[in-house]
Amino acid sequence: MRIIISPAKQMRVDTDSFACKELPVFMDRTEVLMKWIQSLSYEEQKKLWVCNDKIARQDAERFAHMDPHKNLTPALLAYDGIQYTYMAPAVFEDVQYDYVQEHLRILSGFYGVMRPMDGVVPYRLEMQAKVAVCGHKNLYDFWGDSLYREVIGDSRIVINLASEEYSKCIERYLQLDDRYITCIFGELEGDKVVQKGVYAKMARGEMVRFMAGIHVDEPEQIKTFNWSGYHFDESRSSDTEYVFIRTDIPGKK
Q: Is the pLDDT of residue 251 over 90?
A: no
Tally Cβ neighbours within 10 Å of residue 24: 21
More confident residue, 19 or 42: 42
| Mean of pLDDT over the chain | 95
The average pLDDT across 125-142 equals: 94
More confident residue, 195 or 159: 159
Burial code (b: 16+ CB inside 10 Å, e: under 16) for 8-18 equals beebeeeeeeb
Residue 69's Cβ-count burial label (10 Å; 0-12, 13-18, 19+) is exposed
In the three-class reduction of DSSP (H, G, I as helix; E, B as strand; rest coil), residue 5 is classed as strand
pLDDT in tens, 62-103: 999 999 999 999 999 999 999 999 999 999 999 999 999 999
pLDDT band (50, 70, 90) for residue 250? low
pLDDT confidence of residue 6: 98
Tally Cβ neighbours within 10 Å of residue 6: 22
pLDDT band (50, 70, 90) for residue 247? confident
pLDDT band (50, 70, 90) for residue 17? confident
> In whole angstroms, what is the distance from residue 102 CA to residue 2 CA?
8
